[in-house]
Amino acid sequence: MNSPATATVSSYATGYAEGRHAAKEHIAGFANPYARNSPAYQGWNDGHYDERSAHSIQIARTSAAVWAHDD
């Protein structure tokens, strides 16, 4: 029994999701596994950047809350 070959085309959304996951796992931004100029490559970069930005904002808010005190 033979099954037809399916093309494994990675979309922007797939790359984005994997980029966010990579950022959570502390994988470097230059380790993008997708081919340059592909939608998945751009999605991976965007997802990685967005996750790192969200993490930085969360740290800043937590830090501000720790240092803020009522007098």
What are 30-70's pLDDT values in tens digits? 999 999 999 999 999 999 999 999 888 888 888 776 677 66
Contacts of 24 (CB under 8 A, 6+ apart): 51
44 close to 19: Cβ distance less than 8 angstroms: yes
Label residues 16-38 b or e (16+ Cβ within 10 Å = b): bebbbebbeeeeeeeebebeeeb
2-35 pLDDT per residue, tens: 544 444 557 999 999 999 999 999 999 899 999 9
